[in-house]
Structure 1
């Protein structure tokens, strides 16, 4: 059961006239920024250069973590002050000015204040990430901070920042960090060939990573996640907006607007973003793209819809304990949750959530704040939306406000990694994610997973190859294939592969899997959603063809939403080529019925050539029939 609580800092009274869904106003955002900053600054070093927040260090070490605390909170302060036209009643910028002077006096020195130097990403890379927040904060507050610094401090800050231009970023969104640093230096008249090249290189890679439908891959692979909104769209679009560059704004803004066409559906009726991908401890940073779209004017959303989404996301986390009793953002989702984290997560990492405060760049007179909140896309009629470029199928239901993402394209596997690469990432490997459930621990049975067991070892899903996606009125589909990978013994089995198709309509998910080349003695297992027993959401899974009777398995380590979870599981002995069909559901509707009567027919028939197999399912409610034909590495679909 969800426990609602007030944040540790004071918020203004709710305004249900202008915000009928959340009660939040622009004043709530200012109060939240101030509250989070006050809590963090209690842990500052005497000179203010490092914010050494309590907690276990990241793999970058305590000094880098302290810089992270300074830089990421600076970003929140910068949006807060810039959005107020320079008004700074809490005198935040004085603190950050003192920290700049202290941190850049002797970079790399092992003393109480000095910042670490910026090196290559694989040596001492984290400071490069933080340099972008420092640079962006300085750019946003230039008249009230940078322009008032002594020239010697300005020179020292520039030299420290240039470390980002002279060292190697990681091969993903990190190239936008030197891009952002270079943009600031050019904005204050300190540009040169070095800054020009850093920006050109980032833009070249950004074009390569753009895959369509408003979505970027985070690097050369197929990692599609929240980094689209809080990095890959945010940095170039905000840069163009601050520079007043109409051509760049039009280019990047058009992509942001297209991104929001699908991404805006990925917030639940309770305000939660999808629990999917890495760095989820950044929480309400997920709304940054929505806020930036409103600020820049590059959005398909009405101002009241944007307001509903950003307000809902902020409120969702604040009232579920994201900032604990001490006011600090914890490492987790609602509260602390170690499984949500990556090795680079340190005590100050959650403060990338500061990016959500980009919404404050819209002044009080902006339509984002003067328009009355309107329903979020997930609060309208039931919807199913396919997004072919990333391989997503998004499914929302009005009755419970739950949004589900069926993943047939995002895998977070580097191009140079083969199928034998060790390990699996629960935040990408699952078949489906939602706004009310999280993946189970790697030590527990995997939720939403089709595994093949060979020699007593269950397979995992790593590299995902899309087979297509599409949607019509009230329904949609997406498909992919993968080579099962085994983390013990031989990594792969020759000839073994799995093709998967999800068809969504209403709250139902038709899950069809074609297992090819299974060796004798192999066993397939399919799991459903992980949910709290007796909790507000219910997970259902029913076999239609090829599966044995279902069982319920336990996940004692729980998920980010519940300390303890259970999930349904189907199993079948497989050998050679086998097609398996099941129906799944995740619902918070208290009167949702069982799945047994939803489908009245389910047939599987091999084609005459032996290379194709057809699946036909009849829906009892309206007589609609879904037909799926698996060909040679291709899928065709009909739903009528």
Structure 2
């Protein structure tokens, strides 16, 4: 039965990718691509930096100025009311943005344009984090009610784990104490029986790293269930049932690997289990790279497609860890992701007039937003930018432009055959 599941899943993903390519190939005959001609890796990096700065800065600068709740719009799906979302959407925006920018902000200061951008964002974010946990601040964020904060505290925790020297250590002692209190307050609630278990687990793991007493039950339950839900060939089900969507990238692989890294460092998990989680994420990243069409599109399938470039968090994290499979060159990942970003963001249709992300996949498409989605949710998109944590002199950025797998395949070039794996 397991082998049948592997085969059917692989066939489905392949058909989706082929269909996606065919549709856009027809469109390309009629419309000029928005993807520019070949550029250098450093030009690609400048584009990524400018785009991430554009996406993240409204959240970070408003939080630093105590004007996030005042200025951030709260767009909700048709038929939904804003009242509930205003309790949770601001922490969503902050936690998710932090997790996406953390590797980039962890790079050392320098005098380049990019270095100045990083320093500006990091300085503002540190001020904003203090505001977020200050009960007397207008932008004091809600960790205390509703279940949703379990999720977005977890992305904040992931940011601290990804960039401890940049985002945790510089905080003053009172802010650190307040953050710990807010995280411990999350224990009064539970969430869904699916990827949410990882959120509770990584929140506890983060507390462990800052010297607080962690809840071993939440940690062990998350570890056991996620491993039980592994389906094979790099895919986890999201809970007991398999879902064909991007949650393996939005949450499961990156957060499980970061979670297991803490447990391994704290001698709560053997290194072999961590290594297996990494190998599975590497395998999943092969699928992620292959579904990017020659034109820089990918299938808008499953839940939460409004998270946009977060669909490639796992691929980006594997690149950031410099663990790409041997047959995937760093430059081909850079070029593929750059093509996706140009396709999705260059027309400006994903932002309102003040620079906030809007509900949709590629434009204003509020009808496709899930019932749990609001403006803050959309900042998952920053998770697609993790390779910016690699310095500018890394081969990811310096190697010559290289075609990615689907571009090679559809242009008659040699490309690697794909087979399932058993780990």
TM-score normalised over the length of structure 1: 0.52
Structure having the higher helix fraction is 2
Per-residue CA shift, 1:414-457, capped at 9, x if unaligned? xxxxxxxxxxxxxxxxxxxxxxxxxxxxxxxxxxxxxxxxxxxx
**Counterpart-to-counterpart distance in 2, 1:101 and 1:47:** 10
Partner Cα distance (2:286, 2:62) in 1: 41
* Structure 1 residue 324 displacement after superposition: 4.6
What residue number does 1:593 align with? none
Instruction: Give the distance between the partners of 1:113 and 1:360, measured in 2 at CA.
Output: 28
Task: Assess, with a 3 A threshold, how the Cα gap between structure 1 residues 330 and 37 changes in structure 2: closer, same or farther.
Answer: same
Counterparts of 2:62 and 2:170 in 1: how far apart (Å)? 26
> Any residues of structure 2 matched to 1:167-186 within 5 Å, and which?
167-186=189-208
| Pairing 1:359–2:390 present | no
Give the Å deviation of 1:92.
2.0
C-alpha separation in 1, matches of 2:232 and 2:324? 16
Cα distance in 2, alignment partners of residues 333 and 346 from structure 1? 13
Aligned counterpart in structure 1 of residue 277 of structure 2, from 231, 245, 252: 252
Match of 1:148 in 2: 170
Correspondent of 1:76 among 100, 112, 118: 100
Contact 2:74 2:89 in 1 (8 A): no
* Alpha-carbon spacing, 1:51–1:135, altered in 2? closer, same or farther (3 Å): farther
Instruction: Quickly say closer, same or farther: Cα 1:93–1:6, change in 2 above 3 A.
Output: farther
Matched, 1:350 2:374: no
**Contact preservation (8 Å) 1:77, 1:92:** no
Q: Distance in 2 between matches of 1:183 and 1:200?
A: 11
In terms of fraction of residues, the more strand-rich structure is 1
Alpha-carbon RMSD? 3.2
2:60/2:124 contact within 8 Å kept: no
Distance, in Å, in 2 between the alignment partners of 1:286 and 1:144 is 26
Alignment of 1:170-249 (within 5 A): 170-190=192-212, 192-194=213-215, 196-240=216-260, 246-249=271-274
Question: 2:57 aligned to 38, 42, 60, which one?
Answer: 38
| 1:199 to partner: Cα distance | 2.3
CA 243–6 in structure 1, closer or farther in 2 if over 3 Å, else same: farther
- Specify whether residues 29 and 153 from structure 1 end up closer, same or farther in structure 2 by C-alpha distance, changes over 3 A only: same
Deviations 1:255-305 (A, max 9, x none): 012212333221111112211001111111112111111122333222122
Structure 2 CA distance for aligned equivalents of residues 215 and 277 of structure 1: 15
Change (3 A) 1:15 1:4: closer
| Matched-pair contact (CA < 8 Å) for 1:52–1:66 | no
C-alpha spacing 1:292/1:266, structure 2 compared with 1 (3 Å): same
Higher relative contact order (CA 8 A, sep 6+): 2
Q: 1:240, CA displacement in angstroms? A: 4.8
Q: Determine the C-alpha separation between the residues in 2 that align with 1:104 and 1:5.
A: 45
C-alpha offsets along residues 337-365 of structure 1, whole Å, 9 cap, x if unaligned? 02221011111221101111211122223
* CA distance in structure 2 between the partners assigned to 1:135 and 1:85 by the alignment: 23
Do residues 278 (structure 1) and 300 (structure 2) align? no
Aligned partners of 2:260 and 2:274 also within 8 Å: yes
Match of 1:340 among 356, 368, 382: 368
The SS at the match of 1:211 is strand
- The two structures have a TM-score, normalised by structure 2, of 0.77
Structure 1 residues 258 and 182: CA distance shift in structure 2, 3 A: same
Q: Which residue of 2 aligns with 1:292?
A: 317
Please identify the structure whose Cα radius of gyration is greater: 1
Question: 1:621 matched to which residue of 2?
Answer: none
Q: Using a 3 Å threshold, how does the CA distance of structure 1 residues 223 and 6 change in structure 2: closer, same or farther?
A: closer
Aligned to 2:329, which of 302, 308, 311? 302
Relative to 1, partners in 2 of residues 1:337 and 1:49: Cα closer, same or farther, differing over 3 Å?
Answer: closer
Structure 1: gaps of 5 or more residues: 8-13, 382-396, 400-472, 475-640
Answer yes or no: is 1:99 the counterpart of 2:124.
no
Matched with 1:114 is 140
Give the superposition deviation at 1:178: 2.0
Alignment of 1:376-391 (within 5 A): 376-381=404-409
C-alpha change, 1:230 and 1:200, in structure 2 (3 Å) is same
Q: Does 1:264 align with 2:319?
A: no
> Which among 352, 366, 372 is matched to residue 400 of structure 2?
372
**In structure 2, do the counterparts of structure 1 residues 236 and 352 end up closer, same or farther at CA, with 3 Å as the change threshold?**
same
Aligned to 1:327: 355
Distance 1:373 1:179 in 2: 39
